[in-house]
């Protein structure tokens, strides 16, 4: 969990390796953008042209008006496409390793593997890890602070 946490902290500074950097589109004015369904069709076709083996079911769409781009993230694999919102030019096709790291970090990869509907493994894993971190933090503080407190009490009593 610590390793994935460190890697996730670095994801935006990984020079496209963990998470592709956002590109800059040609227009930030949404009036100049193509309709979302047209952009979706272009993204799916671009992915198919890139690799016919990759599934084109979309998991989510991130619209970045201030950067003039639309990011399409696909299900069941870790590839994403960034399109210019106005021209539909493919700005970037890249692997999103951060999505896998997030699933490892929070335990949701087990829910995906076992196809659970309630996110049981994610909730169990994050609860155990969170409570463990609190317990280790408190016990570590007490191991450090307790002997100091005892020494001060012993000096007063002698």
State the pLDDT at residue 74.
97
Question: What are all long-range contacts of 49-52, with beta carbons under 8 Å and residues at least 24 apart?
Answer: 50/79, 50/93, 51/79
Q: Is the pLDDT of residue 33 over 90?
A: yes
Query: What does the alpha-carbon distance between residue 152 and residue 147 come to, in Å, rounded to a whole number?
Result: 9
Could you tell me the pTM of the whole model?
0.82
Residue 129: enclosing H or E segment and its boundaries? Answer: helix 120-157
What residues have CB less than 8 Å from 87, skipping those under 6 apart?
25, 26, 34
State the pLDDT at residue 154.
85
| Cβ pair 54, 47 in contact under 8 A | yes
């Amino acid at each position: 969990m610590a390793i994935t946490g460190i890697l996730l902290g670095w994801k935006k500074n990984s020079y496209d390796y963990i998470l592709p950097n956002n590109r800059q589109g040609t227009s930030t004015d949404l009036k100049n953008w193509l309709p979302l369904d047209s952009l979706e069709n272009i993204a799916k076709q671009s992915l198919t042209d890139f690799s016919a083996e990759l599934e084109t079911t979309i998991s989510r769409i991130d619209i970045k008006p201030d950067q003039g781009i639309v990011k399409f993230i696909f299900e069941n694999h870790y590839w994403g496409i960034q399109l210019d919102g106005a021209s539909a030019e493919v700005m970037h096709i890249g692997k999103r390793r951060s999505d896998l790291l997030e699933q490892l970090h929070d335990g949701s990869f087990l829910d995906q593997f076992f196809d659970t509907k309630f996110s049981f493994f994610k909730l169990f894993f994050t609860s155990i890890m969170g409570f463990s971190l609190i317990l280790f933090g408190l016990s570590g503080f007490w191991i450090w602070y307790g002997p100091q407190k005892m020494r001060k009490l012993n000096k007063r009593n002698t």
